Chain A
Amino acid sequence: MFFRLLEDSVLRNRRRKVLAVVTIAIAATLMSVLAHISIDIGNKMAKELNSYETNIRILPKSEGVSLFLGGVDYNPLKGRFFLNEKDLPRIKGIFWGNNIAGFSPFLTVPVKITGYDAIPVPLVGTFFQRQIGDVDGSQSFETGIRFIKPYWTIQGAWPDDLQQNNALVGKALADALNLGVGQSLQVTPDKGAPVVLQITGILSGDDTYDHAVMVPIETVQNLAGLPDGVESIDVSAMSVPESALSRKARTHPDSLDVQEYDLWYCTSYVSSIAHQLEEAIPNALVKPVWHVAETQGAVINKIQLLMFVMTLVIFIAAGLGVATIIQTSILERSGEIALMKAIGAANHHVALLFVAEAILLGVIGGVCGYLLGMGFSQIIGFDLFTSTIAPSPIVGPVVGTYAVAISLTGTVFGLTRIRRISPTAALHGRI
């Protein structure tokens, strides 16, 4: 009987119900859009921001201290430690391997340019764009300096990694020595025979390499007599901003209990990624580049905070709007309520009916809103990031609960009014 009443109640006066459902649906849409975006946005933003700069540096564990002046290390190479190029694939093999957006190894020797012998110039060996096999050789991964320096502009063309004599020259150097694309350049290392290089492009946009010559790493390895030798690796990893936990891990690593350690390890903090890289690569010392990591982190934090605060406010505001409609509809149905009471319904009978109706409307509105919100979020996601936003499983239940909650809240506030309606009014045709 109850369900018959409920069915009647809901199906009658569909107009009114539609209005209520529509409002709930709109509020729910809003919520689900915001929820989707705020959950995914942090990840997307991190991905976007992190790919612009190197935020982790891998160095060999060494006893000495390097003496870099003008891009040239004045410490003799002998006696220093190196990393092994063969260990590079391990980078992608760590727990957070999927967060590694790109990396590039470096090996630098000072050379003299023929004709300008007085000034040592750094000859920087690196990967420009190569496929790196995975640890077990299954998947390959394309990376190199092109992937971690998106702000570089090349006049001419990128060097071909397979052509050991291809070179990139920094703009300041090119200007000073009047070098142009297509020209050849002879360089002589401290010890060894000169090498002739072919300038394929001129690099501008990076003060670090403005006075350098860049070649495929093999060229430098051969010149220095260090096969597979790597001096440092720049890594760009997608990370989340630092938190109290990560700071604790950094400063007092021994004070972390097992749970905290696990949580830290399994969160993509830049420091835990660095830690994992250190574990994976033999003889390595891995350091986060804090300037980059912290500034990016600050921005991401702001964005997440913005989303959170806005979501909260909308939550309340939309909820109020819906509660109002429900209140008003109760007001309008006072005649109906009086009638129900007149034929014998007790307060709680009527209340129950309205509450059940509220839940039903909430669910319908919530489902519609969730679906609409999904649609909206995808459009937004596509617009912002040209990719789809992953629907998080948590959004559905949250939005559903929200829709039902605001529907119920509006109804609950009307329950006192329901109690106050007297059946006598119905009997006398009065409202």
Chain B
Amino acid sequence: MNHMNFKMFLRLIRQGIRNQRNRIAVGVFCVFIGVTVVSSLINLYYDISYKMHEELKSHGANFFVGSKTYSVSPTLDQSVLDLLIKTITREKIVAISPFLYGIARLDLGNAVLVGVDFPEFKKLERHWPIVGQWVSMSFDDRHCVVGRTLANTMHLKVGDSLTVYSQDLNTHAPLTIKGIIETGESADEQVFVNLPLAQRILGLEGKVHHAMLRVEVTGTEAEHLARFLEKTIPFIKADALKRVSYSEGKILESMTGLMTLMVSTIVVLMTLVLMTTLTAMTAFRRKEIALMKALGAKNRSILSYFTVEIILIVLVGTILGIPAGFILAQIFGKTIFLSFVSFRLIVIPFTLAIMSGTAVLAAIIPIRRAYRLDTALVLKEE
């Protein structure tokens, strides 16, 4: 094609866009909607596993570390916690709490006393319903949290005083009940205090029985970490809690499976809707195509003209749609996961690929059909 004719080609396109603004606007609008939806879903899809991991972090402990010794209530030195933190590295630990158990005496009978690090313990048991409040500081030795069953049996309520005594009655601590928890587990019958106080009452200063942790690991990583910890700290026994990793694994699996299918279904169908819309818009211009044919235009020439126009429409719609899609993804993220979705670069090539394919097909299909039609018939149509 020579220089003048190329200019004519450009002129055709320019005039087509300038003088048929309605049609072009509608086309761009449709592409825009399609791209917004598709790109937001792709963005969400690639962010979902990250989001789910964040969600699962609040599901409680996934690691247990105890003493390797086999004896009656074997203890570990308190320093093992710092050792764990150092070995696993602070960033990977979401929460870590020591546990020390023993039987203490209360005014109305015996009960199991549990020493924990309250702020960390609360992170691990976020989902326990509590009447009243958790103890907020780890150095607070004036308050305790008790289990519902214990509270009911001993007729205790929030704000009541409770004195705990050591077995030999030599040590005691007056406490106020700050909260009552309901768990459905053995905690319902226990009294929770901060570790230092428990150590004093139980006569186990500087000791802990075990630690529970929430570590940021996935699937098999957890097992490897447990083995690594046992190797590095020989006197401990480390366990990645299978019941936790099992159910979390299932959750992630079904979530991912669900997302994959939903997203691919939606992407496929939205693309089809978009394609049929664009195809229809081109198909509705059959008279134009027939006229060009009647004037002696080569098929290739007609095709290239329509294709370029559609590509332009798709390009503009896509450029507008991707940022809009990102915003939509944020809406999804904020509504469902209460957090922002980060932009996944893969959205761009993915969306462009889908759109290009759609554009080309939307141009080719109606035109191919138009070729085969009787030009004269089309021109005679109402």
Our verdict on whether A and B bind, yes or no, reads yes
A116 to chain B, nearest CB (A): 8
Q: Kindly state the separation between the CA atoms of A98 and B120 in the bound complex, as whole angstroms.
A: 39
In the complex, whether A101 has a CB less than 8 A from a CB of chain B is: no
Q: A52-B250, A65-B150, A331-B284 are in contact. Are A291 and B273 (CB under 8 A)?
A: no
Q: A49-B247, A306-B336, A313-B37 are in contact. Are A291 and B125 (CB under 8 A)?
A: yes
Whether the Cβ atoms of B336 and A68 lie closer than 8 Å is: no
Q: Which residues of A contact B284 (CB under 8 A)?
A: 16, 328-329, 331-332
Q: A69-B112, A305-B336, A309-B335 are in contact. Are A376 and B125 (CB under 8 A)?
A: no
Whether the Cβ atoms of B243 and A205 lie closer than 8 Å is: yes
A317: which of B36, B55, B110 is its contact (CB, 8 Å)? B36
Q: Kindly state the separation between the CA atoms of A53 and B185 in the bound complex, as whole angstroms.
A: 13
Q: Kindly state the separation between the CA atoms of A322 and B34 in the bound complex, as whole angstroms.
A: 12
Q: Which residues of B contact A302 (CB under 8 A)?
A: 55, 336-337
Provide the A299-326 mask, 1 if CB < 8 A to any CB of B, else 0. 1001101110110011001101110110
In the complex, whether B262 has a CB less than 8 A from a CB of chain A is: yes
In the complex, which of the residues B41, B280, B281 has the most CB atoms of chain A within 10 Å of its own CB atom? B280
Q: Which residues of B contact A318 (CB under 8 A)?
A: 269-270, 273
In the complex, whether A368 has a CB less than 8 A from a CB of chain B is: no
B361 to chain A, nearest CB (A): 14
In the complex, whether B144 has a CB less than 8 A from a CB of chain A is: no
Q: Kindly state the separation between the CA atoms of A172 and B70 in the bound complex, as whole angstroms.
A: 9
Q: Kindly state the separation between the CA atoms of A173 and B70 in the bound complex, as whole angstroms.
A: 8
Whether the Cβ atoms of A68 and B186 lie closer than 8 Å is: yes
Q: Kindly state the separation between the CA atoms of A66 and B72 in the bound complex, as whole angstroms.
A: 18
Whether the Cβ atoms of B328 and A313 lie closer than 8 Å is: yes
Whether the Cβ atoms of A298 and B55 lie closer than 8 Å is: yes
Q: Which residues of B contact A64 (CB under 8 A)?
A: 109, 153
In the complex, whether B254 has a CB less than 8 A from a CB of chain A is: yes
Q: Kindly state the separation between the CA atoms of A310 and B125 in the bound complex, as whole angstroms.
A: 31
A11-31 CB contacts (< 8 Å) to partner B = 15-16, 19-20, 22-23, 26-27, 29-30
Whether the Cβ atoms of A299 and B55 lie closer than 8 Å is: yes
Whether the Cβ atoms of A151 and B243 lie closer than 8 Å is: yes
Whether the Cβ atoms of A30 and B265 lie closer than 8 Å is: yes
Whether the Cβ atoms of B247 and A52 lie closer than 8 Å is: yes
In the complex, whether A33 has a CB less than 8 A from a CB of chain B is: yes
In the complex, whether A257 has a CB less than 8 A from a CB of chain B is: no
In the complex, whether B376 has a CB less than 8 A from a CB of chain A is: no
Whether the Cβ atoms of B101 and A305 lie closer than 8 Å is: no
Q: A56-B184, A324-B29 are in contact. Are A65 and B60 (CB under 8 A)?
A: no
Q: Which residues of B contact A153 (CB under 8 A)?
A: 242
Q: Which residues of B contact A65 (CB under 8 A)?
A: 109-111, 149-150, 153-154, 189
Provide the B72-115 mask, 1 if CB < 8 A to any CB of A, else 0. 11000000000000000000000000000111000001111000
In the complex, which of the residues A293, A302, A383 has the most CB atoms of chain B within 10 Å of its own CB atom? A302
In the complex, whether A154 has a CB less than 8 A from a CB of chain B is: no
Q: How many residue pairs, one in A and one in B, have C-beta atoms under 8 Å apart?
A: 226
In the complex, whether B251 has a CB less than 8 A from a CB of chain A is: yes
Q: Kindly state the separation between the CA atoms of A293 and B337 in the bound complex, as whole angstroms.
A: 19
A332 to chain B, nearest CB (A): 4
Provide the B241-281 mask, 1 if CB < 8 A to any CB of A, else 0. 11101110011001101110110011001101110110111
Whether the Cβ atoms of B72 and A118 lie closer than 8 Å is: yes
Whether the Cβ atoms of B266 and A30 lie closer than 8 Å is: yes
Q: A23-B273, A69-B103, A328-B284 are in contact. Are A49 and B243 (CB under 8 A)?
A: no
Total count of chain A residues near the partner, CB < 8 A: 88
Q: Kindly state the separation between the CA atoms of A57 and B149 in the bound complex, as whole angstroms.
A: 13
A69: which of B34, B101, B266, B269 is its contact (CB, 8 Å)? B101
B290 to chain A, nearest CB (A): 14
Whether the Cβ atoms of B183 and A19 lie closer than 8 Å is: no
B185: which of A291, A327, A384 is its contact (CB, 8 Å)? A291
Q: A15-B283, A151-B247, A384-B257 are in contact. Are A325 and B276 (CB under 8 A)?
A: yes
In the complex, whether A176 has a CB less than 8 A from a CB of chain B is: yes
Q: Which residues of A contact B266 (CB under 8 A)?
A: 30, 34, 310, 314
Q: A67-B110, A67-B111, A310-B262 are in contact. Are A26 and B269 (CB under 8 A)?
A: yes
Whether the Cβ atoms of B269 and A207 lie closer than 8 Å is: no
Whether the Cβ atoms of B153 and A151 lie closer than 8 Å is: no
Whether the Cβ atoms of B257 and A290 lie closer than 8 Å is: no
Whether the Cβ atoms of B60 and A295 lie closer than 8 Å is: yes
In the complex, whether A206 has a CB less than 8 A from a CB of chain B is: yes
Q: Which residues of A contact B37 (CB under 8 A)?
A: 313-314, 317
In the complex, which of the residues B34, B41, B70, B188 has the most CB atoms of chain A within 10 Å of its own CB atom? B70
In the complex, whether B340 has a CB less than 8 A from a CB of chain A is: no
Q: Kindly state the separation between the CA atoms of A22 and B269 in the bound complex, as whole angstroms.
A: 11
Q: Which residues of A contact B279 (CB under 8 A)?
A: 19
Q: Which residues of A contact B30 (CB under 8 A)?
A: 320-321, 324
B235 to chain A, nearest CB (A): 14
B107 to chain A, nearest CB (A): 13
Q: A37-B262, A67-B111, A151-B242 are in contact. Are A291 and B127 (CB under 8 A)?
A: yes
In the complex, whether B239 has a CB less than 8 A from a CB of chain A is: yes
Q: Kindly state the separation between the CA atoms of A339 and B266 in the bound complex, as whole angstroms.
A: 41
Residues of A within 8 A of B (CB): 15-16, 19-20, 22-23, 26-27, 29-30, 33-34, 37, 41, 45, 48-49, 52-53, 55-57, 63-70, 74, 118-120, 149-153, 172-173, 176-177, 204-207, 210, 250, 287-291, 293-296, 298-299, 302-303, 305-307, 309-310, 313-314, 317-318, 320-322, 324-325, 327-329, 331-332, 335-336, 339, 376, 380, 383-384
Instruction: Give 14 pairs: A residue, B residue, CB < 8 Å, sorted on A.
Output: A16-B280, A26-B269, A49-B250, A65-B153, A119-B72, A210-B239, A290-B182, A291-B125, A291-B128, A322-B273, A324-B26, A324-B29, A328-B284, A384-B258
Extra contacts, 14 of them, besides A49-B247, A151-B247 (Cβ < 8 A), are A19-B276, A19-B280, A33-B265, A34-B265, A68-B189, A149-B243, A207-B239, A289-B185, A295-B58, A305-B335, A313-B37, A321-B33, A321-B277, A328-B277
